[in-house]
Amino acid sequence: MHSTTLLARPSISVSDFRCSAGPHDTPFSEWHRSHSISYVRKGSFGCRSRGRLFDLVAGSILVGHPGDEYICSHEHVCGDECLSFFLNPELVQMIGDKAEVWQIGAAPPLPELMVLGELAQAAAEGRSDVGLDEIGQLLASRFIEAVSGRPRKFAPLGARDRRRAVETALWIDAHAQRPIDLDAAAAQAGISPFHFLRLFSSVLGVTPHQYLVRARLRHAARLLAEDDSTITAIAYDVGFADLSNFVRTFHRAAGVSPRRFRQASRGNRKIFQDRLARH
């Protein structure tokens, strides 16, 4: 089993697991150390937990409850890959902590969970501007709704809530060049990360991380048009920690690379005209 930690936050952590075990490997007992949701993105494996045997395939969810023993096996195929979210007790309490929900062992491939699982995978690979901590909380919340059959009810948003979301958005924009995660933004707003994610998304129509990435892109576009700094310097100045991620994200947003965007801003209108002609 090879594991890679992708994200570590006080309320949630995310790991990538890749198992190469096959039918001839001897299974062994393991224990869930926290509440967890593992999205199976590839392969298949069996899991025995609480006297029940589950066969998980791509799209299934392995559900972890603290202290529960489980045994995984690969009787049919060799290997699997999972994207796993580990939640702290406070976050679980806010989302829904009924033991009977978290002790089901596994959930079958459900459309409402599969689409979020694939979005989470896209975020993990840098192909989405949704934050991994954000999509993890959304996936956990949707899991509770799907298993319990009861959608979570929230109180209507008032003027204070809307002002809180707007003021935090302004703070994110003013500090976009810094590392800002969901916990930091929620602390600025003075509420829990779980409630802040719902509040911010409801008021502004984007998640906090999406707004952060788009604020960085906006600042980058202005600098590309007005400043003579190198593209690498601009990427780091606006808050991107990786140049390739900046180029990829900017191209996805603008339809052209940062270099060609700069050329277009300096008078080469043919760049955007050519792109419009192709569409």
pLDDT value for 155: 67
Residue 230 pLDDT greater than 80, yes or no: yes
Residue 273 pLDDT greater than 80, yes or no: no
pTM over 0.75: yes
For residue 209, give the 3-state DSSP assignment: helix
- On whether the CB atoms of residues 147 and 110 are closer than 8 A, the answer is no
Cα atoms found within 13 Å of the Cα of residue 210, Cβ hemisphere only? 13
- On whether the CB atoms of residues 39 and 83 are closer than 8 A, the answer is yes
For residue 175, give the 3-state DSSP assignment: coil
Sequence-ordered strand ranges (E) for 26-134? 29-31, 35-49, 52-57, 61-64, 69-73, 80-87, 106-107
Residue indicated by tokens 């911010």: 200
pLDDT digits (tens, 9 = 90+) for 43-64: 999 999 988 999 999 999 999 9
Distance CA(62)–CA(83), nearest Å, equals 10
Residues β-bridged to residue 84: 15, 38
Phi and psi based region of residue 254 (left: phi greater than 0; alpha: psi -120 to 50; beta: remaining):
alpha
Provide mean pLDDT across the span 236-250: 95
- On whether the CB atoms of residues 104 and 147 are closer than 8 A, the answer is yes
pLDDT digits (tens, 9 = 90+) for 108-160: 999 999 999 999 999 999 888 899 999 999 999 999 999 888 766 666 778 89
pLDDT value for 276: 47
Distance CA(182)–CA(155), nearest Å, equals 21
Phi and psi angles of residue 58, each rounded to the nearest 5 degrees, phi first: -55, 125
How many residues are recorded in the chain?
279
Residue 30 pLDDT greater than 70, yes or no: yes
- On whether the CB atoms of residues 47 and 104 are closer than 8 A, the answer is no
Distance CA(27)–CA(123), nearest Å, equals 31
Percent above pLDDT 70 for the chain: 94
Distance CA(197)–CA(183), nearest Å, equals 10
Distance CA(208)–CA(121), nearest Å, equals 18
